[in-house]
Amino acid sequence: MSRKAGRKQEKRRSIGFIGLIWRLGLVGILMLVAWTIYLDVQVTSRFEDHRWEIPSRVYAQPLELYAGAPVGAAALAQELEALGYQPVSGAPRDAGQFQRQGGRFRIRTRGFHFPDGREPARNLRVTADSGTITGFEAPGETALARLEPRRIASIYPGHGEDRVLVQLDDQPELFRETLLTVEDRGFPSHYGVEPSAIARAFIANLQAGRVVQGGSTLTQQLVKNFWLSSEQTYWRKFNEAIMAILLEARYSKEAILEAYMNEAYLGQSGTRAIHGFGLASRFYFAKPFSELELHETALLVGMVRGPGYYNPRTRPEQARARRDLVLELLADRGLITESRATSLKRRTLDVAAAPDEDTHRYPAFMDLVREHLSRDYRDEDLETAGLRIFTTLDPRLQATAESRASGMMAALEQGQEAGTLEGAVVITGRESGEVEALVGGRDTRFPGFNRAMNASRPIGSLVKPATYLTALEKPARYTLISPLKDERFRLEFDNGDTWSPANFSGESHGQVPLHRALSHSYNQASVRLGLNLGVPAVTETLQRLGMEDEPPQYPSLLLGSVEMTPLEVARMYQTIASGGFRVPLRSIRSVTTPEGEVLSRYDLRMEQVVEPGPMHLLHYAMQEVMREGTGSSVYNLIPERLHTAGKTGTTNEGRDSWFAGFTGDHLGVVWVGGDDYDATTLTGGSGALQIWGRIMADSSTRAFSPVVPGSVDYHWVDSKTGGITAKGCDGARRIPFIQGSEPQEEVPCSDGMGNRIQRWFQQVF
């Protein structure tokens, strides 16, 4: 081949190669354009439609402050501390601060959006003395103020992410400047990527032979968190850069920054991932994002690089060094003075005590909340829609119930194997039916078997008020002084079995008035009465009071062989405590959207199922239980002025110790026993009542003073004969009767001091 032909062939090959390169380049450009369009669709669709899966927030009752409120100085200080209020030496200037001088408080509250409207931030002056607020001052005509409610739990999605959404308007001092100083100084001017930073990272990665350094801008970090994985590959970095440019082209810097504030990963709490500065400020400092001080902001911003390595609770030295470095950077840029940076570096980390894992703080109560919510909401809504759930829990009463129950169960074991005794407590508002405290077992943080809701045990003598109420609803046959026979007897059944109930003491008492048979819990008299009325009649009363399932129609029902959970007992006794009105137990007051729109309101509902007259007579007898019957030991624990009413219950060999009773404030049901049904030495009075009394001593202030219905009259009755007598006579007792059922016979005073005093009064006056 000639040299000329060779040059032509080489030229053709060169042109062909260039053409191939051009065509490949064109294909590459087209592929890049197509891929960019695809990424653009991903960015726009996901960013605009992005909705963080926000767990539902569960709140307790708010503390209400007003003159006369039953709140002491210690309790108020404890509540402010639990809410993350900061004590200050002078007058509080910012929301979330308070000053205390003995029992005098000056408080700058935070605003909060309650279901019934927004509570504004207020300046309060409060004086508390002897467990009561004696002085209250607020701006304007306000006679009452509410602190924001405690957040007691969250209902998380399966992946465990948690966040509290914040807006740019919520930023504390110099937050934006601090974040950009540390993470992306070029953020205001770049278009999603920083070429110089990428170049530095590229050289470092080439030298290491792998990806060891990133040149990511704040926008690229957001892209990675939103759409991409954390794997260190060039392909992921390439996609990250393209998407960052597209994101900057589509959206404002403010929208990107706000998204970053809510997405940044800042730590872990058990299975819960802490995302965003809003939640991090609460998790590490127990305060809202807007209330962060500059040294606290510096710590959180510094933690972005490595939340685990700079965790202030587990690695305080590293956290402090990182915070101080951030403060130095602020001073270097002239954002703060050197002297202020030095002063802030002297501050401690000021990290709050590690909060309890939300889901384990009140596990028993949360079981009840979930059960009630399941009637109206799907799990998906509860885990992702950011609902706000306002419950009936009283944190102060819950703490009292927990400490008293756990402490007394250890004391009541009386030589038994340690840890064998278990228990449950249900406390409700006496009139409202709101569940204010719930203890599911001795270990109050254990999210396992909830005895308050799930432990069905024989209720013993707690069943007796239903028998006596059934009788008192028949005033033509029974009154409180109707004689009942308390003697041994035997029943024979068709199959040849026999049953002979006996009193707890083993003794019989002959003929006793009806009110004494109940107050002293005489088994023989109670069974005789129940059999005369008929077991079906007593069952019907039990179901009216709130028992949902129909129990077996056996005579043993009359001594409480029926099994119920403490919550079911509370449902039944709630009707008694509220004066014959069946009031459904509630754990939730309302549910709202994150913006405050009310979705559900669970208002008080009631249905009268017992007439006022017979119920008033039953209340009289149940107060007698506490004055002189099986519950009388309670007045060693609480003041007599509370005039409590209740009933003890004990099952065979002390396997179950029960008490159900109420003051003017609360109804309480307590069960104590062993999970293995072993015998104990406890009775209702020596076991469950001791826990109940200590709880009420710490939490009740109102006496139970039932209103006398118009259908009831009180008369003085001679205890021996049952006839109407005079007030000053020996053995005279003032007893209520439904009108027309009172004794017709009048008897003079029997001989004795009372008779002589009466005659003396008659002679003198």
Q: Which residues are catalytic?
A: 183, 461
> 10 Å Cβ neighbour count for 231?
10
**13: its two tokens:** 């090959």
Going from the C-alpha of 509 to that of each of 502, 504, 520, 523, 626, the distances in angstroms are 11, 12, 11, 11, 20
SS3 at position 565: coil
Does residue 684 contact residue 459 with C-beta atoms inside 8 Å? no
**Is there a contact between 389 and 59 (Cβ–Cβ < 8 Å)?**
yes
Cα gap 351→348, rounded to integer Å = 8
Helices (H), 473-555: 514-519, 523-533, 535-545
Extended strands (E) in 573-620: 581-582, 588-592, 598-601, 607-608
Q: Classify the C-alpha dihedral 133-134-136-141 as positive or negative.
A: positive
Q: Which amino acid is at 402?
A: E
Dihedral (Cα; 545, 647, 657, 690), 10-degree rounding: 130
Angstrom distance (rounded) from CA 642 to CA 701: 7
Q: How far apart are CA 497 and CA 567, in angstroms?
A: 34
What burial class does residue 647 get, using C-beta atoms within 10 Å of its C-beta: 0-12 exposed, 13-18 middle, 19+ buried?
buried
Q: d(Cα 211, Cα 233) in Å, to the nearest integer?
A: 7
Q: Would you tell me how many other CB atoms lie within 10 Å of the CB of residue 760?
A: 11
442 membership: H or E segment, kind and range: none
- Tokens standing for residue 201: 């990272």
Three-state DSSP at 541 gives helix
Tell me the C-alpha to C-alpha distance, in Å, between residue 80 and each of 95, 105, 112. Answer: 12, 11, 15
Strands 712-718 and 656-662: unpaired
Helix (H) or strand (E) holding 642: none
Nearest-10 crossing angle of helices 218-227, 234-250 = 110
User: Residue 131 and residue 600: Cα distance in Å, rounded?
Assistant: 35
SS3 label, residue 677: coil
Distance (Å, whole) CA 521 – CA 467: 12
Round to whole Å and give the CA distance between 171 and 218: 17
Q: Which amino acid is at 183?
A: E
Torsion of CA 222, 226, 229, 230, to 10 degrees: 30
**Extended beta strands in 261-359, E state:** 265-269, 272-275
Going by C-alpha positions, the residue among 542, 538, 528 that lies closest to residue 499 is 528
| The pair of three-digit structure tokens given for residue 591, joined into one six-digit string | 């549910």
Count Cβ atoms within 10 A of the Cβ of residue 339 and give its class: 0-12 exposed, 13-18 middle, 19 or more buried.
Answer: exposed
Inter-residue contact 682 to 654 (CB < 8 Å): yes
Q: Which of 419, 417, 414 is nearest to 441 (CA)?
A: 419
Task: Output the CA–CA distances (angstroms, integers) from residue 760 to 72, 162, 617, 717, 747, in the order listed.
Answer: 50, 80, 34, 21, 18
- Residue in the block written with tokens 């933690």: 303
Report the C-alpha gap between 138 and 141 in whole angstroms.
8
